Chain A
């Protein structure tokens, strides 16, 4: 059940805060460090602030460390944004960036799954399983970043939105409304940066978004799979959905909006399939809850 409070705090607040943050960062820094730099780091910071503030307003302060392992994505998004800023300002070489991505993915997966490892709930060879998930997440983030370099900022944001929107619905229909609302806050904040980019006249450079948004998105999926009822099939569909942008890449060219729309559509199709599968299961239950 979604209340008006859920919409205001969980969707409107993250979107508005993210948009305002981008606009304020642009205004505050354009004279000192130039437009390019402010556009580079402001989007991931804006998304992180929007998601964190919206989620805390909705569900309260999670505590450090959080009581519930599914609250880690909300806490981790702030240090991720800090790493994205450092990355943007220092212009790290790719091996260093991949090493950072691997380290933060490993830390995230371990923090989220640790209660299950300690409770022997992951079956045999839990550490090997977590290591595999970490490597796959790192590869997914590297791939996302490669996509971001090959399309416009607006298109990349739209690609992420096309995956996160259906993911929010899928998570909400997979046993946990709270995880769905966290994903919705992520989508809303990302939408806010997109709107701010339109106001500024040009898209925001997407660097850092792959780390902050991509990893938070995958963390939420891991939470849904480990702690709620997100099925393995829907987990895989949603995890690979942003990668579907590669399917349209040969036809995607900067400025060719039809090709870019096709790229977004491929992502939405894969993520939408997961949402449809979750809805079909959800609707089949006629118990009235």
Chain B
């Protein structure tokens, strides 16, 4: 009887320890948008950098399961640069055409561990109605337990795109073709 109890306790402990070591479980874990951010940086008239962000996004990550995946959706209408008139212009057909192309999406096609908490993620980015393959390096920035005691994990990726590749060619002399994107994602049950 005592042996059976000890074995049961050992199993429970092992399961608990494994869940702590691998916070991203086999099922996709939703992005906690409150503690995540989607930033972009673009150069104004080849002079200085302007930062902006998207405030409305969602998605789910599953990095350690048998079929790992990364899926992110961003609402273009939620663009925020700290200037209302500029945001109105960015949402217009000159740039994002937010009424026609209301969502930016990223869907992974392959996720491979690259060691040291890093993952090589190949996927398709759809922006302004154009789908292009891109490769990201997703870096785990930390793991912990959330307020509810459930595991949470953070990731970060930085990558560059050319907006002209996605058909956004208006005023390339005013706002650079190259755009830096920075995504900080916290995942885990709230």
Chain A interface residues (CB < 8 Å from chain B): 1, 3, 59-60, 67-70, 115-116, 119, 121, 175-179, 223, 226-229, 285, 287-289
Asked if residues B88 and A67 are in contact (CB atoms below 8 Å), the reply is no
Contacts of A179 in B (CB 8 A): 93
Q: When chains A and B are docked, how far (Å) is the Cα of A119 from the Cα of B76? A: 14
Asked if residues A229 and B102 are in contact (CB atoms below 8 Å), the reply is no
Which residues of B from 10 to 39 have beta carbons under 8 Å from A? none
How distant is A282 from chain B, measured CB to nearest CB, in Å? 8
Which residues of B from 67 to 101 have beta carbons under 8 Å from A? 83-86, 88-89, 91-94, 97, 99-100
How distant is A98 from chain B, measured CB to nearest CB, in Å? 31
Q: Does B129 contact A (CB under 8 A)?
A: yes
**Top-5 shortest CB links A-B:** A289-B85, A70-B93, A175-B92, A176-B92, A115-B100
30 contacts between A and B (CB under 8 A): A1-B171, A1-B174, A3-B173, A59-B169, A68-B93, A68-B129, A69-B97, A70-B97, A115-B99, A115-B100, A116-B99, A116-B100, A121-B99, A121-B102, A175-B89, A175-B92, A176-B92, A176-B93, A177-B94, A178-B92, A178-B93, A223-B93, A227-B97, A227-B99, A227-B100, A229-B92, A287-B83, A289-B83, A289-B86, A289-B89
Q: Does B130 contact A (CB under 8 A)?
A: yes
Q: Which of B86, B91, B100 contacts A68 (CB 8 A)?
A: B100
Q: Which of A59, A67, A70 contacts B129 (CB 8 A)?
A: A67
Known: A121-B99, A287-B83. A229 touches B170 (CB 8 A): no
Q: Does B167 contact A (CB under 8 A)?
A: yes
Chain B interface residues (CB < 8 Å from chain A): 83-86, 88-89, 91-94, 97, 99-100, 102, 128-130, 167, 169-171, 173-174
Q: Nearest CB to that of A118 among chain B residues?
A: B100
Contacts of B93 in A (CB 8 A): 68, 70, 176, 178-179, 223, 227-228
Q: Nearest CB to that of B164 among chain A residues?
A: A60
Q: When chains A and B are docked, how far (Å) is the Cα of A25 from the Cα of B171? A: 35
Q: When chains A and B are docked, how far (Å) is the Cα of A179 from the Cα of B88? A: 14
How distant is A131 from chain B, measured CB to nearest CB, in Å? 21
Asked if residues B83 and A288 are in contact (CB atoms below 8 Å), the reply is yes
Contacts of B167 in A (CB 8 A): 67-68
Q: Which of A68, A177, A229 has the most CB of B within 10 A?
A: A68
Contacts of A285 in B (CB 8 A): 84-85
Q: When chains A and B are docked, how far (Å) is the Cα of A70 from the Cα of B95? A: 12
Known: A67-B129, A287-B83. A176 touches B94 (CB 8 A): yes
Known: A1-B174, A3-B173, A175-B88. A68 touches B97 (CB 8 A): yes
Q: When chains A and B are docked, how far (Å) is the Cα of A246 from the Cα of B178? A: 51
How distant is A281 from chain B, measured CB to nearest CB, in Å? 10
Q: When chains A and B are docked, how far (Å) is the Cα of A3 from the Cα of B102? A: 30
Q: Nearest CB to that of B93 among chain A residues?
A: A70
How distant is A278 from chain B, measured CB to nearest CB, in Å? 13
Contacts of B88 in A (CB 8 A): 175, 229
Contacts of B102 in A (CB 8 A): 119, 121
How distant is B46 from chain A, measured CB to nearest CB, in Å? 14
Asked if residues A287 and B85 are in contact (CB atoms below 8 Å), the reply is yes
Known: A59-B169, A67-B130, A175-B89. A226 touches B99 (CB 8 A): yes
